[in-house]
Amino acid sequence: MGLSQTQAAEQLGIAQSYYSMLEKGARQPSKAIRQRLQEWMRDLETR
């Protein structure tokens, strides 16, 4: 993808620190965030 954590977090509308915790597996995303992540990743694939 080539995005920094800050850029990804901004696009997702979440804090960079929260994104970092998700990436490391330190936190599990809520259902709403999980859905947002799935939609965001689909959008990235079509770019």
pLDDT of residue 12: 95
Residue 25, Cβ density class (10 Å: 0-12 exposed, 13-18 middle, ≥19 buried): exposed
From first to last of its 47 residues, what are the pLDDT tens digits of the chain?
589 999 999 999 999 999 999 999 999 999 999 999 999 999 988 88
pLDDT of residue 1: 56
pLDDT of residue 47: 80
Give the type of residue at 21: M
Every domain of the chain and the residues it spans: 5-45
This prediction has a pTM of 0.84
